[in-house]
Structure formats: structure tokens, C-alpha cells
Chain A
Amino acid sequence: MKKLRTAVLLGFVFTVIGLLIYSRIMAYSLAPTMKPADFRGLAIWEIPIAYLIDYFSHGWICLLFAFVAAGLVYEFVPKEAITKYMGSGRVAGYGLALGMAPFLTVCSCTMVPLFGGVLFAGAGIGPAITFLLMAPAANILSILLTGELISWELAGVRIIVSIVVALTAGIIISKTPWGKAIEKEHQQTVPTGQKSIEIVKPPLDERLWSSLKFAAYLAKQILPFFLLGLVAVSYVQAYLPEDIVGTYLTGVTGVLIASVIGGPLYTPTLVEIVLGKGMYELGMSKGALLAWLMGQPYDVANALAVSRIAKWKVVLTYMLIAWAGSVIFGLMYGILSGSL
């Protein structure tokens, strides 16, 4: 019975992976294929329906894969090893914050507590901030979708830029007087040895099942907003004139505007990716697109949660650094890729 269950679950996981590989081999586009011009002849109520049908007939493999992968990674990442080393030292702290944030934080549930934990128990304010910025900017779900829907080039750039910005912000804040003050206030020693943690190792079928359950949980959390976002995107595609996008979302102004609206409009629901893609198709430059996608770390909900632990000065500093980062790297990427 147990073996059968394990086999069925493994079969499902491999089918999902196989589907993605198959679509890759067949060079089958997973992104929606309708162009803005296709919408012009449709009635108002037909626009979102046509867009959603177009989107899901292509995008379901990608979404399914993204959620299943996020669930699996989250379940199988060795959490106790990470939390143990998170407390060990500064360099290890930064390294783990960068390396692990993308895998652990697909759920907002874990992010703020981990931020608090790293700050209180170990590596201090620098790695804690690095972790906090890295998490939403480059979590596995958003990277997978950026790669599949927009381009893997942009997904790669997004990872690299997130690392640089998160690291810079962490190091700078750990040097400021107000950053140091927070650290002093909260830092405490944790008993060495950590005998108080003995994680139970569940059997494979249990782990597979719980990773799929977590994938379903994520989908339930994110998809309703994602759907609403897609409806909004369909109207943007249909009604936003190309010359407005061409005027305001290209060049240096484009990067600046995209970086400013990216923050407040950010919802941790992957909508920013589809919306970004929509505007990119209407003529937004690659530089502005990167700035738009990078705008999220200073989203308001997160900042509020964090400001309860760290003081507003720290929050303001990291928001400023994240914003400056999105502008600087947006401009650089725009120039380098020849699309500013």
C-alpha cells in the first residue's frame, strides 16, 4: 500500500517534469500568444475570456510545473541544517541568506519569522536584511515564471541583480548606526549544541504527499489573484495605446517610472510578471522591465511587518537601496542589451 502510494506520487511528479521537457523539445510556446492587435475587434466582456483561454491553453504546464517544483523544493530542502548554520557567523549567514532564501520563502508565512530568527539568534542585521530582500525578488516560483513567460535571459539577470542588491543593502545597513542599534537590542546567544532540535524524518510517500499538498496550498493562495491580474492585463493589452508605453516606459524616464510604480503595485502573486510581459509587448524597454520586476522588495505589506521588528529607519534605508538598485541595474541592463 505504502509502496503503491509512493509510486503513484513519484509518477505524478515525473509526469509533470516530463510535460515541461516535452513542451521544450517540441518548441511549444508556454506563454500566451495573442498580440495587442488581436484584442481590438473584441467586445469588452470578451477580452478577458479570450485572454484567459489563450493563457491557460498554453500556460497550464508551466504553472503546474512551477507550483509542483516549489512544493518539492520547499519540502526537501534540509531546513534544520540551514537554520543551524544561519546562526553561526557573518559570512556563512550572508551565503545562506542568498542561497536559501529563494527556496524557503515561496510562502510569506516563513519569511518574516526567519528574518526575526536570523536577526535575534545569529548572523545579525546584515544577513537578515539580505535574506529579506533576496526572498521575494528571486524566489523559485517567480524565477520559473519569469523564465518561462518572458525569457530566461531576464530571469538570469533578475537573479544576479537580486543578489547584488540584497548583499549591498545588508552590508550597508549593518554599518549604519541605526542598524547596529537594532542588532544590539535583539542579539542574544543561543545555547550551543542545539540539543533541543531533533527533527522527525518522515517516509518518502509522506514527504511527497506533503510537498504536493503544499503546492496546492500555494496555488490556492496565489491563483485567485493571478486570475484577477490576468483580467487586468488583458485590458491593458487591449486598451493601453502603444505610443503611451513607447513614450513613458522607455529610456531613462521609463526605468524611473517603472521602478516607482513597481513597488506599490507589487502583490506577491506573480501578477507583476504577466503585467510586465503585457507592457513589454506593447513596447516597454528591457531596462524598464527589469526595473519593474525589481521594484517588489519595497512593497508595503512586507515593510509593515518588518518595521515591527526593525525600526522605520532601517526599513527606509533598505527600501531606498532597493529602489536605487532597481534604477541603476535597469539602466545598465537597458544599455547592455540595447533596449533602453
Chain B
Amino acid sequence: MKEVKVEVLGPEPPCMRCQAAKKVVEKVAEKLKQTEISVKVEKANVMSKDIVSKYGVLVSPAIAINGVVRFMGRVPSEAEVEKTIKEAVKKEA
């Protein structure tokens, strides 16, 4: 079982497109459960100090996979997110 951490970065209170992004990620996480990849989904405040000091200025919604921002300012499709997560797993291995 491989573990991947996915952060959905958006403002607090959440905006609609960030919620849409989170839904996409959650669906992919559900799907990947069957393929031996466990995805830990977290929602982080794009304006909190630690997020800013980690990633700098971001356009929300942004999605970071294993501490690397891979999507920014848009809601990606499920296929894209799945592919990117799988790439991240391969990289770790």
C-alpha cells in the first residue's frame, strides 16, 4: 500500500471552485483505493502562514501532491488528477 498526500489549497471560507476541486480529488482517492494507493486528502487554507511559507503566492484552487503544487487556478479533470497521483507514486518508488 503506497501512501500519497494530496492537499487542496483554497481560501477559508471555501469557494465553490475549490470545493469542486476537492470533490474531484476525493473521487479519485476512492477509485485508487482498489489499486493499492492510499490517498490522504487534506484541505488547507491558502492564506495560512505555513502554506504561504511553503508554497508562496498561489492562485486558488490549487492542488499539491506530496508537497508539490501540480495544479493551480483551475479544476482539473479526474483523469488528470489520477495520472498525476500515479506519477507521484512512481517517483517515490
Chain A contact residues, CB within 8 Å of chain B: 74-75, 79-80, 82-84, 86-87, 104, 107-110, 112-114, 116-118, 120-122, 188-191, 194-200, 202, 206, 210, 213-214, 217, 309
Which A residues lie within 8 Å of B15 (CB)?
107-109
User: CB distance A117 to B53 under 8 Å?
Assistant: no
Considering the complex, give the chain B residue whose CB is closest to the CB of A210: B74
Which B residues lie within 8 Å of A112 (CB)?
11, 47
Asked if A87 meets B59 with Cβ closer than 8 Å, knowing A196-B69, A197-B68, the reply is no
Beyond known contacts A190-B53, A200-B80, A210-B76: 12 more, CB 8 A cutoff: A113-B59, A114-B57, A117-B56, A120-B52, A121-B53, A121-B57, A196-B55, A198-B69, A199-B70, A202-B80, A206-B80, A213-B75
Considering the complex, give the chain B residue whose CB is closest to the CB of A74: B73
User: CB distance B57 to A87 under 8 Å?
Assistant: yes
| B70 CB → nearest A CB, Å | 5
User: CB distance A121 to B56 under 8 Å?
Assistant: yes
Asked if A214 meets B71 with Cβ closer than 8 Å, knowing A83-B58, A110-B60, A114-B59, the reply is no
The 8 closest A-B pairs by CB, nearest first: A117-B57, A116-B47, A109-B15, A83-B57, A197-B69, A120-B52, A190-B56, A113-B11
User: CB distance B52 to A104 under 8 Å?
Assistant: no
A112 to B54, CA, bound (A): 19
| B72 CB → nearest A CB, Å | 5
> Is B25 part of the contact surface with A, judged by Cβ < 8 Å?
no
Asked if A83 meets B47 with Cβ closer than 8 Å, knowing A109-B11, A210-B75, the reply is no
Which B residues lie within 8 Å of A79 (CB)?
59, 72-73
User: CB distance A206 to B77 under 8 Å?
Assistant: yes
- The range of chain B's interface size is 20 to 34
User: CB distance A198 to B58 under 8 Å?
Assistant: no
Considering the complex, give the chain B residue whose CB is closest to the CB of A194: B56
Chain B contact residues, CB within 8 Å of chain A: 10-11, 15-18, 46-47, 49, 52-61, 64, 67-77, 80, 84
| B29 CB → nearest A CB, Å | 18
Which B residues lie within 8 Å of A116 (CB)?
11, 46-47, 52
Asked if A87 meets B56 with Cβ closer than 8 Å, knowing A110-B73, A198-B68, A210-B75, the reply is yes
User: CB distance A83 to B72 under 8 Å?
Assistant: yes
Which B residues lie within 8 Å of A121 (CB)?
52-53, 56-57
A67 to B78, CA, bound (A): 25
Asked if A83 meets B74 with Cβ closer than 8 Å, knowing A117-B47, A190-B52, the reply is no
User: CB distance A113 to B60 under 8 Å?
Assistant: yes
The contact of B71 among A109, A191, A199, A309, by CB within 8 Å, is: A199
A149 to B29, CA, bound (A): 47
Asked if A109 meets B52 with Cβ closer than 8 Å, knowing A199-B70, A200-B70, the reply is no
A74 to B16, CA, bound (A): 17
A129 to B38, CA, bound (A): 42
User: CB distance B71 to A196 under 8 Å?
Assistant: no
User: CB distance B47 to A109 under 8 Å?
Assistant: no
User: CB distance A109 to B57 under 8 Å?
Assistant: no
Considering the complex, give the chain A residue whose CB is closest to the CB of B73: A79
Asked if A109 meets B16 with Cβ closer than 8 Å, knowing A121-B56, A197-B55, A202-B80, the reply is yes
Which A residues lie within 8 Å of B52 (CB)?
116-117, 120-121, 188, 190
Asked if A198 meets B18 with Cβ closer than 8 Å, knowing A109-B11, A116-B46, A188-B49, the reply is no
User: CB distance A109 to B54 under 8 Å?
Assistant: no
A275 to B49, CA, bound (A): 41
User: CB distance B57 to A118 under 8 Å?
Assistant: yes
A337 to B62, CA, bound (A): 45
Which B residues lie within 8 Å of A210 (CB)?
74-77
